[in-house]
Amino acid sequence: MRVVIAEDSVLLREGLTRLLTDRGHDVVAGVGDAEALIKTIDELAAQSALPDVVVADVRMPPTHTDEGVRAAVQLRRDHPGVGVLVLSQYVEEQYATELLAGSSRGVGYLLKDRVAEVREFVDAVVRVARGGTALDPEVVAQLLGRSRKQDVLAGLTPREREVLGLMAEGRTNSAIAKQLVVSDGAVEKHVSNIFQKLGLSPSEGDHRRVLAVLTYLNS
């Protein structure tokens, strides 16, 4: 896996680089601001050497407001084949929604605290690089919470809402079954019921299923 890291904290940038390289991945560049990120990706594109995924902080110089997420949105538009995983100190629903607008393929939004859970973090980076979704449980909770206020999920049972939340995080049916300590068949039934109640047609791949759910939640 080829990775570009955009993080203005040198310590965190070096830490992420070490964490990924120790697990056999290739960090092809590390930059400290959004302008350098866009320039680096454009240069790699010109060399036909785009990375599989970009890991970027939401807030970067010069204003430390939304430069990182703006760059991430631009990259998703200009280079849709590159996965983008953004890191944030807090859940910022506006940024999460903007990042997910249009498509949730190859996208992730994690809180920085999640980096400490090394295995889960690396799994999330790999999943996004492969075109999947990786959303922090806190982000999912806020998106689902907003939808509940709008009575969007009123027809779902508590268990179906729980399954939907895990689906939105990017979990597979097997992972959901393990998390909830139920059979794969039970999860498949819940997923089928969720799509039926939300008026969504189930598709063949887990990522398409997640895309449909997130598209509905963001509508």
What confidence tens digit (pLDDT) does each residue in 136-193 have?
Answer: 888 777 765 655 445 556 778 889 888 888 887 778 889 999 999 999 999 999 988 8
Average pLDDT over residues 11-37: 95
User: Which residue bears the tokens 């509940």?
Assistant: 148
Model confidence at 204: pLDDT above 50: no
Q: With cut-offs at 50, 70 and 90, classify the pLDDT of residue 104.
A: low
Q: Which two tokens stand for residue 45?
A: 């594109």
| pTM of the complete model beyond 0.85 | no
Q: What is the DSSP letter of 83?
A: E
Q: Which two tokens stand for residue 89?
A: 């100190």
Model confidence at 7: pLDDT above 60: yes
Q: With cut-offs at 50, 70 and 90, classify the pLDDT of residue 103.
A: low
In angstroms, what is the C-alpha Rg of the chain?
A: 17
Put the strands of the sheet holding 107-111 in their side by side order. Answer: 26-31, 2-6, 53-57, 83-88, 107-111, 133-135
| The predicted structure's pLDDT at residue 216 | 52
Average pLDDT over residues 195-213: 59
For residues 198 and 159, the model is more confident at 159
